[in-house]
Structure 1
């Protein structure tokens, strides 16, 4: 007999029943094969049944599979006790592998707690025992508070008290899953983390990486923030009582107890309230509820969803009744379990049909001679095994004929029976007589199913780390592409380009993160002014400034690359924005700043972004800037012209900047504030040959210019000067890099010219000046265009102090031109009176000091912004509607309109498209740097003011 001698021998003799047991508790790999398991009855007296039960238990514990063994002796006294013991044992560490979470029974735990409260209330005023656990004493105190609420609305007081307690209990049930060794909040946190974190973080990582790759870092950060917040809220919520209460909504769908419409609190009060007239039925319904909660908890533990642990469970939980006798509560538990599974009510009718699959496997030892009732005085009757068999039997229709009216329901009855058989199976019991041993050997059974490798506890975390690492890598790579989450991208050479309202600080560093650079304070002021426009709630027009706002990454010494021009243009924009918004009653001006990169390398790409933004933001009425005459600037103008946006060039002087092609001519949308190179070169040659530069007539000129084919300005200006300097001699000396410049200047100084005409860029002017100082024996005379006004702005004091060369230059605008000599008794332009305090407040230093903004570039950008704002305001009042780009363009294109009769750089009236919308008779200035570092304007040709301007020495046609 099993257990009677050697255990191995017993197992060999019982191999058949052990193999049957293994098949019963082995979980199939596919959900569609899962079915309710029948009850296994082991027929025989107590000792053999106990031995087989021990073998079953040992097998489960060796595999750390979930098992509960209900002994014949010292069995719990009622159904609740059996379920409590089963819950405790199924949750033990011996019932689950190391590293796997145990089975959890929150529904059963809550139902048992409500039942305990009911039992305490039914017991009346009996106090708890002295050695009662703290939880029992707490339950007694709670019952007293619920039965003796404060004076007032007793029902509402009871509900509030029960609501408070159940919220706390919802948290505690999730924390204290068993009675031995509560796992604590940390363990619960880790359990939920195992369910949520791997897949949640992996999904967040994938979405974030996709957003970073497809859109920009802002979308990636937003996706990551929302996703991680959702994961954290999910984890935190499950630790709170309200989530526990919410998860108990299952009780409201059960048919076993009456309930009102007030949710789970009403249901809990229904369990708590004693009903003497219905006490027996109420107790039975409560037992059915406990059994249903037990089965539902098991069903949820084995539900094949996103939880890895549920897929890793390859053995069904086993409830072993060692030996059932008529009075054993296990008999009642088996009957109630089958009633719940079959969906039968007390009267035998259905309560909604069978419940579906649950994973519980039941084995029970039964003496086939034991009576069904535990009553010695009762006459011989049904056996206990027959009583149990009756409780688990699948009820089908007896085949009785129906009348002609009831025939209508036969088809529904037929399908209900099919469903019942599909859920419960064709047989609900298996009987094995463990006392019969025919002898013989059985072939070896198939090896038991092992846990799938894909459900290893470490696998979700490994996958999560791998996906997160890949996502971080993608985002990190994208972070190299983006300087800011909001559309500011990083180029291959390290510059930050894009469009900002001032919130991103472009600067001298390529990373744009140095908030101490010279552009940051001005951008901060523009951001503040834009915020005021938004807060005002009034209509506004938007201008976009496109310029080179970062230093050339190829230059190691960033001090060489001057940003005085860009700083000056931004200061002029801010002054124009402030003055217009203060004066305008309704329309406001908003300014966006776009960085095209050093030397306008990325102008076309940024122009595409401006164009795309203008299609969405109809308040954009113009783009200003384009200060450098380069091929990339031409490409940007062609892109933006497709959007029909007015384009205003500030310092761009190349004649063919806006030429579309030889047939189409100039772009109709481009308006030039700077005089063209041909006019500038004609004035420079005239002044040099006639003695206005340095006091002597120049006959030989050395022209220094940048030979970069992409630099349209330098080569064109040098060529135009060569044509205009006649009948003098011109020697052309191009350079491509500082080494070429050094060589060219040294060669020129061996046979010094009468004048050096510098047509290069301000970036290389310091190198040019240094070579002059070292290589030329006499103090040379230098004439340059407006391009070096940026250099002068930063180094005027040094130029005057050293006196190694005499410098004349031709700024596009100058404060010194607005003196009595040139404007007579007329009041000076108010821009210059506002400039010093405004620039000082934005930069924190004196505008006339070193590394200050270029007042020349500030003046022309002020004129451009003020002109657009003024025209937009006129359109606003004429059309009684927010101005559009088309309306502003039409006003600018009106030949009869002085778009700005009193500009800081002169009177602004544009000529026809055929000449590229040049400003008619735009002033051309000749200035020099005095020994004290100040600037003196020697000549003013063109229309600085409307009338009464002082006379100057100008070319016959200028």
Structure 2
């Protein structure tokens, strides 16, 4: 069937360039037409009235007010003529009233979240001398009545017979008990089928809904009187967010609902009489904030008519350049909204005098919505829809595999949160991260899960005599933006490889070695930047309660406030945490069961300062820090404590300390002879190098980067495409675990490092095997750090097992005979003598501290970052490699 030609959004104007009053209608015609695929982002158009000439408000009111049939949903509000509309709630109430009308030739827009929020704000729970519980009961009764679930009058059944009594009970169930039960289930938000609007309020971000635990508690905070303790701006943002959420849902396109595709034009709000700092300006500002803070788009176009430009974007563009201005705004929007700029969504235009006055005899065109596609029209028979559903069901039954789902076998519990699969798994039924380019990350998970099955079988064959423990790897396994050919989770993959190596080493023990432990690993995802670590820890709490073999957590990846919160929760649960790479100072303040494998930031700063003074012999330093996307210096504990350490250690010699963001130029550093330090997150390092590329033949002489850049240097894909040919020196936490160092240790009969080299080079473990035939792939420093963390716990469990059954070596292992807190104490007891002989250096702890003492750190140097084949060279190091006194810092 041939698709009919879609009529234009507005009647065509005469041929030739736009003249007179055609500019504004042409601009709205372009913005309001909804694309057949996808959606466009809509700005806030701020039109500054011309000093003389026509009135754009009158033109636009005629434009949206004409036409018949399928009209664009619109609301017009003249703020100068409506003194009763004095605040944002009043504007939204009027906007809701106008857009809810069935007056646009199509199904009306339905609102579910905003009316509930607005209704709650009009409720008063002042119960006088009654208790707070009476206020809650009043709110429950009103909510139930508002839902329309309760009948005002209930029919009575007369008679004292058994039949009459039964009918009364039945009517009571139908009229009161069943609706009441349904209401309680809906308000709880725990059942997916019902209560979606209540769940939305508890999951959105304004007014901290989680502090209220339940929706009823949150709803109570919105009522009159109780609302006085909340920030007015947060309340206004909640109302606006709820209003926009209703528009988003109304404009969703679902394949199984052709009616969704009948909305072919976006709704528009025309605000006339807007003044700077008035209610119209406030609404525009809040709309900008909500879009930036939630990261959600919405289908509302706002046109504000004012006499002056907004202070957020005082520069105006003539209306004849409107197309160019909108294109430039759309191109810059991803960056400006990420930076949460106050003018991220504003486009300020200045109509000329002749732009707002139609030529004589020419009326403005009418605002008419295009016809929907043929397959979305009402004449299609229901049989076509049914056939599509049956075909889609058959296809899904044979091919569909969800990448985030619970499994009937193994220990799997996951939840989709903000588009990320959060939870834990110990089997191949749930492998985290289905993004392209992450094959190696998925492969090592499958290797761990296969070794889980092997460890279980070996344990059963030993008649359960061997100690058997479970460690949870909690890390960031989703959330990064990646190319299809880019491995973006190198660090997480390396840490999982370290745990897989520990498993493998234990499986290679003799079958008769009843004292050798077996390791079971559960892989858990806390989401991007550990933002969903809270829900993940709550799931792990239930796992540890049900499975007594769970004795600790390894991982946590990044030092952020969300990570610190997760540490506090894990401490409450009673699970020790061994962090291979966390290095923010004082992370152990968050948990008495925390053990850090890497040196803290204070040691890293001390090494850099000593290197600058003793080797480079420079007298001053410039430092730039960055916290990565959607983060701040307060939230990023790693960068925050690093910056504090630099200020304290360098003092007045630190002559420049600035934040670096994408797009900032660094030409001021060209030819700089002092120490130039990158003290930020690895994700920003590529942009930092691109900025330094402008220096050409006069680059800064001494570029040093923190240990976060190890993530960048461990990623061959990123390094190969790195800009420029600058030499870079960067901090390494495991320089003793390079292939050359491991071979030298094996030749010197170093058992710990020699055995580790044997395991990582095995043909049936890592893909590809490491350090083989003199030219194998490098180990990756996080492999050794995670291996050390796991083996410290394993050796502690083996020691406890030996003491528990010293009189009867043939007895079965009872998992409940040890507990996580006891294992943590045993780790510290074993460490108290000479320290743990780790592959990446000896690990010692001071009393009452979770930070290692004199842990080895090194500075590695590469002559050219893109030269992936060249192995970094160690130029400086601090700390101890083996047991013995601290040798201090010295060149290598």
TM-score with structure 1 length normalisation?
Answer: 0.45
Greater Cα radius of gyration, structure 1 or 2:
1
TM-score with structure 2 length normalisation?
Answer: 0.48
